[in-house]
Chain A
Amino acid sequence: MKSNNKRKLKKADFIILGLAAVLVIYIVYRIKVTIRYEWAWEILPKYIFRFDDKLGRWVSAAIFSGFIMTIKLSIWGIILGTAIGIVMGILRVHTELFGRVISRVYVDLIRNIPPLVLVFIFYFFFSSQILDNLGLEELVKASGPVIQSILTVIFIKPSLFNEFLSAVLSIALYEGAYITEIVRAGIESIPKGQWEAGHAIGLSRYRQFRHIILPQALRNVLPPLSGQFISTIKDSAIVSVISVPELSFQGMQVMASTYASFETWIVITGLYFILTFSCAAFFGRLLQRLKAAD
């Protein structure tokens, strides 16, 4: 992209930079002089990785396993949320009124309750009433060690299976509502003439959608969709309230046992930033490539 913006700093920029510097100095001053915060960075590393004497090798400790858990939650949340969003987004513009109503109710319902409440609903009702009755957790626990270790790698250890499932489902449903609206907007952005041209050569409604509308719509929605994926990573912190050991939950645990609150949250912030920033960079590249291919 060509930019005509001048790179030179203007007067206003200097004022803003100056104010930011003052703010930083003030914060440092408060921490050092008023709070007299005693930095203890040295206790943190063992909460990231620790050396296991029995195994004789380094293993991930609380913070790093939380980091991995956040990645797992995000990936499953994004996959499921996108699937829900595409299906609901298609229903949203469906010719059948029934589909439109279902999708509309879903979107309005989810967008009008706080995500925190959604997580609790899922955990206390869905997990304890439905999942328990399905006996999924027992099934997992009863399965062989090989299956269990595979499940542990791609999901979570068997004892937390219900929590993980409620967490992923609530994240997916929450993000799905927003993805639904993105997909709807993408479909509606395609001119009516495209449907009509498909109709005129005799394509079924499904094939008009599958071959003509969807490929164009998906390309249009990629920028807002990537933004929603990044939101998913950040929003996943909310499931810490149901004890899923993801990054924020582990942060709280480490803070409770070390009292190194500043150090812990600085590290946690950094880790979230690494995730979201690399995700943004990945999609930025992808979009540029698609643009270049045009």
Chain B
Amino acid sequence: MSNKMKMATKNMTFHYGAFKALDDITLEFRENQVTALIGPSGCGKSTFLRSLNRMNDIIPAARVEGQVLLDGEDVYGPNVDVVEIRKRVGMVFQKPNPFPKTIFNDVAYGLRIKGIKNRGELQARVEASLKAAAIWDEVKDRLNESALSLSGGQQQRLCIARALAIEPEVVLMDEPASALDPIATQKIEELIRELKKSYTIIIVTHNMQQAARISNITAFFYMGRLIEVDKTETIFTKPSLKQTEDYITGRFG
């Protein structure tokens, strides 16, 4: 674990109203690594992911205590612009959610929000993002067609391209392949392995094999607590806690 620390949470606790969804989570994410968050449904891993780029802000009764650090700076600090945080910490959702726009405009959306109007620059960056998301060859001749005309797997890679277009530093992925078929899933996994060369990636997954295949670090969540975190091969071969082992071997969850 020699890479530079990119994001971290320190004693982070999360409440939905009176319900404590996350309890005292301290976790680090290093540059150019893939960290997988695993655990049974309702264990808080998605909530955790969504609090890293403050997507939970839109839930009225949500409350965060402790710290979430991005390059050592508290994401929830009083002078922090949430919009800036979300530009630096991109997100890919569980279900592909392209805008009902053309493929080009979909990817260009975040760039235009950033204030880029120059047509040439937009084109160059849309193309680069689509290439980075390994979908360019499939869509290069149909950039003006509706993004909704793509298949589910293509839509998800488009969403990844859209997230990459604004050049985030960290990419959060919330079960990005759970709505896809095995072939599309494989493509997304190859893509993630490629992307970690340039980004810090944090991925929530239900699929243990997926976590084993693509991640460097795996964190096991259960009932709102972080049970164990270690190198992926250690977690999957000789976890230090019985609870982790039981989950990984499918004895519960």
A binds B: no
Which residues of A approach B to under 8 Å, CB–CB? Answer: none
Which residues of B approach A to under 8 Å, CB–CB? Answer: none
